[in-house]
Structure 1
Amino acid sequence: MPLVTSREMFKKAYEGGYAIGAFNVNNMEIIQGIVEAAREEKAPLILQVSAGARKYARPIYLKKLVEAAVEDTGIPIVLHLDHGEDFEICKACIDDGFTSVMIDGSRLPFEENIALTRRVVEYAHERGVVVEGELGRLAGVEDNVKVSDREATFTDPDQALEFVERTGVDSLAVAIGTSHGAYKFKGEAYLDFERLKKITEKLPGFPLVLHGASSVLPEYVEICNRYGGNIPGAQGVPEDMLRKAASMGVCKINIDTDLRLAMTATIRRYFSENPSEFDPRKYLGEAREAIKKIVRHKMRNVLGCSGKI
């Protein structure tokens, strides 16, 4: 099976009230852990590559690893660019075989965001590639995305309708209270479900996307800190909130921080418990299993996409 777009995935997810997991990838072990989980759960899958991942691993290596995953598993996989900051990077990924790209013009004034997004949509659609846009800005830090609390803005439902109509995007990332990184809330967790409801009413049947949606599971934070880490007070999005969002038109939920935490916690523990070990295959193998475990948990208990292929 070749790489696919998300059109049919999102249609089924919207109608079924579940979401597709979009997992960020950076190396072979992360990709293997994710796709093994998807294969065992019989779940559709989006593997997404950020600008930071492209810089770290180099595009050709990531593309070939994803192609190997498709050949190895036979499951439907979307290869998606996460947070493309300009037309040039979106064009490069489209030309390189990506089946989906995100153009993030959320930092721009509304009209400039529309113009940039429309330009990417026109180029992508001519080549059979789907496009995700973004309206509203999430706070937090992840790779090269850095937005302060003061700069963060929630998505306006009326603007969302106009944005979709004028750009022709295939999906829209909305800001309703999530944020990038491991410190998503300073106090009680809160998502603006009333705002999400209004956006869904304005755009019935249209797939929405939730960024910054890792749960930052306490067990991995605790392991990290127990074995030399220093990430006190990390807090993510409660899983029941993500399940609710998936029932309200959110068809794609992005997960990155949870993978990083699971991998790092596992490696920290392995080094502490096996001080004489220096074979990378041993600790990276353990980390790969941790990735697989957390992705299976997400697919089965949070996203609701298990058994959908």
Structure 2
Amino acid sequence: MPLVDTKEMFKKAYEGHYAVGAFNVNNMEIIQGIVEAAIQEKAPLILQVSAGARKYAKHIYLTKLVEAAVEDTGLPICLHLDHGADFEICKDCVDGGFTSVMIDGSKYPFEENIELTKRVVDYAHSKGVVVEAELGKLAGVEDAVKVAAKDATYTDPDQAVEFVERTGCDSLAIAIGTSHGAYKFKGKPELDFARLEKITNMLPGYPLVLHGASTVIPSFVEECNKYGGKLDGAQGVPEDMLLKAGTFGVCKINIDTDLRLAMTASIRKYFTEHPGDFDPRQYLGPAREAIKAMVAHKMRDVLNCSGKA
């Protein structure tokens, strides 16, 4: 089975009131852990690559690892570019075998965002590749994406309709209160469900996307801190809120920070308990299992997409 795009995935997710997990990948063990969870849960799957991941592992290594996962498992997997900063990186990924790309023009004024997104859409669609865009700004830090809390802006529903109509993008990442990274809320985390419902109603049948949707699982934070980490007070989006978002028009939920926490907590623990070990297989193996367990939990209990592959 070849790599797939998100068209059919999102159609089923929208009609079934669940979300597909989009998990960021950086190396073989992360890919294997995620894929093994998808097999176990019989869940649809998006593996996404950021600009930072392409710089770290190189485009060709990551694409070949994902292709190997498809060949090994037969799963319908979408390979997606996360936070493409400009036309050139999107073009490189379209030409380099990705089946979905994101152009993030949210840092630009509305008209410039439309112009850039439309250019990417026109090129990607000519090659049979789907496009995710972004409107609104999420606070937080993820690779090269850095937005201060004071500069975050929620997505305007009226602008969202105009943006989709004028660009032809296939899905839209919106800002309703999530944030990138292992951040700290001031008070209780909240998502603007009234805004989400309005956008869903104004764009019926259209797939929406949530970025910055890791929950910063407390057990992983505790594990990291126990073995030398400094993440006291970190918290993310409560899982019940993400589950609720999937019942609206949210068809894709991005998860990255929780992957990093699961892997890092496992490795920190291993080295604390086995300080003399130097075999990467001994600490990366348990880290892979930690990722598998976390992703399976997300698919089953948060995204509600188990059994939907």
TM range (shorter): over 0.9
Counterpart residue number, 1:291: 291
**Maintained 8 Å contact 1:155/1:175:** yes
**Is residue 2:67 matched to residue 1:45?**
no
**Is residue 2:259 matched to residue 1:259?**
yes
Count of residue pairs brought into register by the alignment: 309
**Maintained 8 Å contact 2:184/2:233:** no
Secondary structure of the corresponding residue to residue 243 of structure 1:
helix
**Maintained 8 Å contact 1:184/1:237:** no
Counterpart residue number, 2:199: 199
**Maintained 8 Å contact 1:24/1:47:** yes
**Is residue 2:39 matched to residue 1:30?**
no
What TM-score do the two structures reach when normalised by structure 1?
A: 0.99
Counterpart residue number, 2:56: 56
Counterpart residue number, 2:137: 137
Question: Residue type of the partner of 2:271?
Answer: F
**Maintained 8 Å contact 1:137/1:154:** yes
The Cα offsets for residues 137-172 of structure 1, whole Å up to 9 and x where unpaired, read as: 000001000000111100000000000000000000
Q: Distance in 1 between matches of 2:2 and 2:222?
A: 40
Question: Residue type of the partner of 1:267?
Answer: I
Task: State the 1:184 CA deviation.
Answer: 4.8
Counterpart residue number, 2:181: 181
User: Residues 141-290 of structure 1: matches in 2 within 5 Å?
Assistant: 141-290=141-290
Counterpart residue number, 1:125: 125
Counterpart residue number, 1:304: 304
Question: Residue type of the partner of 1:266?
Answer: S
Question: Residue type of the partner of 1:122?
Answer: D
Q: Distance in 1 between matches of 2:110 and 2:243?
A: 30
Secondary structure of the corresponding residue to residue 22 of structure 1:
strand
Secondary structure of the corresponding residue to residue 101 of structure 2:
strand
Amino-acid identity (%):
78
Q: For structure 1, which segment, 180-189 or 201-210, has the greater mean C-alpha deviation from structure 2 after superposition?
A: 180-189
What TM-score do the two structures reach when normalised by structure 2?
A: 0.99
The Cα offsets for residues 193-242 of structure 1, whole Å up to 9 and x where unpaired, read as: 00001100110000000000001000000000000111111001000000
**Maintained 8 Å contact 1:189/1:238:** yes
Task: State the 1:185 CA deviation.
Answer: 1.6
CA RMSD for the aligned pairs?
0.5
Secondary structure of the corresponding residue to residue 105 of structure 1:
coil
The Cα offsets for residues 110-153 of structure 1, whole Å up to 9 and x where unpaired, read as: 00000000000000001110000000000000100000011110
Task: State the 1:261 CA deviation.
Answer: 0.2
Consecutive unaligned residues in structure 1, runs of 5 or more? none
Secondary structure of the corresponding residue to residue 150 of structure 1:
helix
Q: Distance in 2 between matches of 1:35 and 1:205?
A: 28
Question: Residue type of the partner of 1:252?
Answer: K
Question: Residue type of the partner of 1:305?
Answer: C
Counterpart residue number, 2:111: 111
**Maintained 8 Å contact 1:81/1:98:** yes
Q: Distance in 2 between matches of 1:21 and 1:136?
A: 21
Q: Distance in 2 between matches of 1:276 and 1:155?
A: 51
**Maintained 8 Å contact 2:223/2:269:** yes
The Cα offsets for residues 80-105 of structure 1, whole Å up to 9 and x where unpaired, read as: 00000000000000000100000000
Q: 1:70 and 1:266, CA in 2 relative to 1: closer, same or farther beyond 3 A?
A: same
Secondary structure of the corresponding residue to residue 275 of structure 2:
coil
Secondary structure of the corresponding residue to residue 18 of structure 2:
coil
Secondary structure of the corresponding residue to residue 78 of structure 1:
strand
Question: Residue type of the partner of 2:207?
Answer: P
**Maintained 8 Å contact 1:178/1:184:** no
Question: Residue type of the partner of 1:135?
Answer: L
**Maintained 8 Å contact 1:138/1:152:** yes
Question: Residue type of the partner of 1:159?
Answer: Q
**Maintained 8 Å contact 2:215/2:238:** yes
Task: State the 1:186 CA deviation.
Answer: 2.3
Question: Residue type of the partner of 1:7?
Answer: K
